[in-house]
Structure 1
Amino acid sequence: MTRDPMDTCYAVYKTLFQQAYPFSYDQQELADYFVAYQDLMAHWQTLPGLSMLNIAYEDLVQTPQSIGKAVFDFCQIDWQAQYIDVQNNHSAVNTASSSQVRQAIHKSSVAKWRHYETELAALKARLISAGITCD
């Protein structure tokens, strides 16, 4: 799963992890972690024989049925239309996004960082200086 770099970093930055991830509270460190993540993923993409499917978060929330089906096809799993009705899944969830997974798939988090563009200027500058596009 890929996602807009600023949206990715903003989502991490605004989450209270109870001091589990100290880098997430500092925009400079968060940007450095994101750059390291990008570098690691680029490495994995170059390995021969490794088959990876890249899905953009923005595409998933725009067309969840077709993207979901593509993922299941890639994994050679039978697709069922109700899989995108994630709000109906009552399995236990123990992540920072536990309340979000109880909601239907939505687009409201796309470009959400722009509401805080001024406050996230240091993050954006650090990503840009590393060659990451931040539109």
Structure 2
Amino acid sequence: MNATAPSSAAQAQQEIVEEFAFFSDWTERYQYLIDLGKQLPAFPEELKIEEYRVHGCQSMVWLVPSGDADNLHFQATSDSAIVSGLIALVLRVYSDRSARDIVATEPRYIEAIGLAKHLSPTRSNGLAAMLAKIKAYAAAALKA
């Protein structure tokens, strides 16, 4: 994983696709997802409030936006190891980007790495809810 953020959301997605291509099966890919989730920055307990909760996820997920339309930053966490890994991927693509980029970026990596086929329906719904919430925050920032 790069220490520096990729210059664009498209580049971040490409890097994710390349990383997952190293693994031959989904057992390894799930383990990698779990490892990515363990690398998420510590999440402040006081931010685990209803306002930041992502509904539609089977597990508990909190997503906190900060910044403005020029640069939106997201912090997120989950009580599930695999969902934490999904969060790590979502943040790589969408955090620290302009609201315009966030709204315009479709999560192509999900299909490209085969996640769409390998997530349970509840995890897929949760991932969709997370992405919708990020895009809603970005759309609101654009209107502000």
Normalised TM-score (structure 2)? 0.27
Larger Cα-atom Rg: 1
Using the size of structure 1 for normalisation, the TM-score is: 0.28
Larger RCO: Structure 1 or Structure 2 (Cα < 8 Å, ≥ 6 residues apart)? 1
